[in-house]
Chain A
Amino acid sequence: MVLAFFKGGSGDGDFDHIVSKSVGMLNDARHSFDLATMALLTDASPDTVAQDIYETDQRINLTEQELRSELVVHITVQGTTEIGSVLGFTLLLKKIERIGDQAKNILELAVNGVSLADGPGAEGRLAERQVLSTLFAEAAELLGASDPDTATIDDYAGRVNAVVDDYQAKIDGFMTSDEPGREVVPLAIYYRFLRRIAANLVGVVRTSVEPVPHIDYLEDGTVDTDD
């Protein structure tokens, strides 16, 4: 570590390293999401993917802790000029960590014996899963871009918010459904997890460009506290 002092290059003075690790965390979260939904939406056994998902979640958590420490070091050494960026990154890391947790929650539905592989809407759920998985990839790409333009961010946010609204409509439907609880409750819970994942994906992308005071508020001005 003493040699780290003598190494050349701009190194940790900028946030490139944090961005690159954040993108890695997001890719890990996507990996967990893909495995967890596969366990819930198909006949695949949850036991085969559980270990991988728990290890991935742990890796995400450790990376979050490590990067948070690095951000504190950054602000202590470099001064408060970049305090806005540091706060933004802290929030962004937390949102990615939450996505990992939601993926783990989906796995736990499957581990607890819930299966959404059969019945009405099974095909549609697999298609939705694919859409959301693709949105992960887009978020990672936007997060890693050196200077993404606002229009691209707005376009992405608009599409994900439409997905969020769709999930919410489904949740509302299940809440008032006359179907048996054992059928609709798991679905309501599942879509609630999806809704949170999608909302956090928008949050991740928005956090990378928005001023700190506006992060975590929905477009109509209400507070998005339901992490």
Chain B
Amino acid sequence: MVTRKLRELDIPGPIRSAIVVGLIYFFLVGVSSLEAGIKIMGEDTQERLFSTASNPIAALCIGILGTVLVQSSSASTSVIVGLVASGALGVDDAVPMVMGANIGTTVTNTLVSLGHIRQSNEFRRAFAAATVHDFFNVLAVIVLLPIELVFGVISSTAEWISEQLVGSAGTEWKSPVKAWVKAPVNGLKDFWETVGTSGNVQGVLMVLTGLVIILLALTLITRNMRELVADRVERSVNAMLSRGGGMVALLLGLVITIAVQSSSITTSILIPLAGAGVVTLRNAYPVTLGANVGTTITALLASLAASSPESLTVALAHSTFNVMGIVLLYVIPLARNMPVVAAERLADVAVERRTMAVAYVGFVFIGLPLIGVVTLG
């Protein structure tokens, strides 16, 4: 039969699951190392490093650029959680950053859509499916960032939830996970001490080690989880194709993203399907929104390895922001079509002038945030 498969070489599921558990532990060690490294640096250095983030627009732009750089909002928000846990970054500064991370993460599927650039109709569909996610996230920031700056709705909601779960801000939260990762983090600290480092140098090395561990662990978690749940994802997408989009598609995006720990994977699966005409833009759109919420699970996980309630507050702020965005821009029918129409219009322009598509990516994800950081930071 044509069904010959090469999967015989695959790692068995239970072993792969065990590997994922190990990688999650590795990831939590990375977050804790990052936090420890920042704490080693001292308050003066922290102040110099993170003063740029006190301007919310600059913080937003840092969030976009940082996420574009690592191509993963899971990674960048986990780093933000680590920074907040160390006390180097306040919750108010971190919230615009996680909003920026939301925008930055959409660069991956927009880049994927550029792979269809040679076929006009295919490109129109793929580019629209990718940029509908961009438009939704940008629109959510345009609506929610001013509200947050004036009323603090997102941070206070997140803070309230956090208080119910682990206690009020400023207190030390005795996370059991923190205790589990203490030994390897102390081991790393001892290692850098034995090679003769101390103070800021040791802090920087701890931070860099933490970053490498976070990125490596997340990459491997995503890769392994994708293998583990590929059949389930396929089955779910097929079920969605036969029954349409809506809130159920949104839930599907949420579930798939939680499973693979990456919204980029979920949304990037949709782009070739949209390009081939298998999924319509309107059916793909809610899946990307579910992916937005699903990806916040990683920062929540990272906050378990942190020692302050503020880190959990920031992780919850990420989830709250995305849920509020959906309530305001998707549940309300009048707003629902705006990102779809904008994406369709932009796709029409991009098909007419392909350079516009490349310019759009360069401007929105690199040029504009760079200008923001340089001028406002």
Instruction: Write the residues of chain A forming the contact surface with B, with a CB cutoff of 8 angstroms.
Output: 1-2, 4-7, 10-16, 19, 66, 69-70, 72-74, 76-78, 81-82, 84-85, 88-89, 92, 145-148, 207-209
The answer to whether B1 and A1 touch across the interface, beta carbons within 8 angstroms, is no
The answer for the CA separation of A205 and B1 in the assembled complex, in Å, is 10
What residues of B have a CB within 8 angstroms of the CB of A145 in the complex? Answer: 1
Please, how many angstroms separate the alpha-carbon atoms of A147 and B2 in the complex? 9
Residues of A within 8 A of B375 (CB): none
Instruction: Report the minimum CB–CB distance from A57 to chain B (whole Å).
Output: 20
When the two chains form their complex, are residues B251 and A66 in contact, meaning their CB atoms are under 8 A apart?
A: no
> When the two chains form their complex, are residues B3 and A76 in contact, meaning their CB atoms are under 8 A apart?
no
A4 touches B3 (CB 8 A): no
In the complex, which range does the number of interface residues on chain B fall in? 20 to 34
Q: Is the CB of A85 within 8 A of B234?
A: no
Contact string against A for B residues 269-282, beta-carbon threshold 8 Å, 1 for contact and 0 otherwise: 10011001010000
CB contacts (< 8 Å) of A69 on chain B: these are: 238, 241, 278
B255 touches A (CB below 8 Å)? yes
Known: A15-B2, A76-B272. A1 touches B232 (CB 8 A): no
Interface residue from A2, A10, A73 paired with B255 (Cβ < 8 Å)? A2
B269 and A1 contact, CB distance less than 8 A? no
**Beta-carbon contact of A1 and B236 below 8 Å:** yes
Contact with A along B54-92 (1 / 0, CB 8 A): 000000000000000000000000000000000000000
Cα-based distance from A13 to B230 in the complex (angstroms): 7
B320 to chain A, nearest CB (A): 22
Partner of B252, one of A5, A7, A73, A74: A5
A7 to B233, CA, bound (A): 11
Q: When A2-B252, A5-B255, A69-B278 are in contact, do A146 and B1 touch as well, CB less than 8 Å?
A: yes
Contacts of A84 in B (CB 8 A): 2
CA A146 – CA B231 in complex, angstroms?
20
Report if B4 contacts A (CB, 8 A).
Answer: yes
| 7 smallest beta-carbon distances between A and B, as pairs | A13-B231, A1-B239, A85-B2, A4-B239, A15-B3, A88-B2, A5-B236
A12 touching B235, Cβ below 8 Å: yes
Contact of A70 among B229, B238, B272 (CB under 8 A): B238
Which single residue of chain A is at the shortest CB-CB distance from B271?
A76
A220 to B238, CA, bound (A): 40
Asked if B256 lies at the interface with its beta carbon under 8 angstroms from chain A, I say yes
- Contact call B278/A72, Cβ cutoff below 8 A: yes
Q: Let me know if B2 and A81 touch, CB within 8 A.
A: no
Contact A1 B256 (CB under 8 A): no
B6 at the interface (CB under 8 A from A): yes
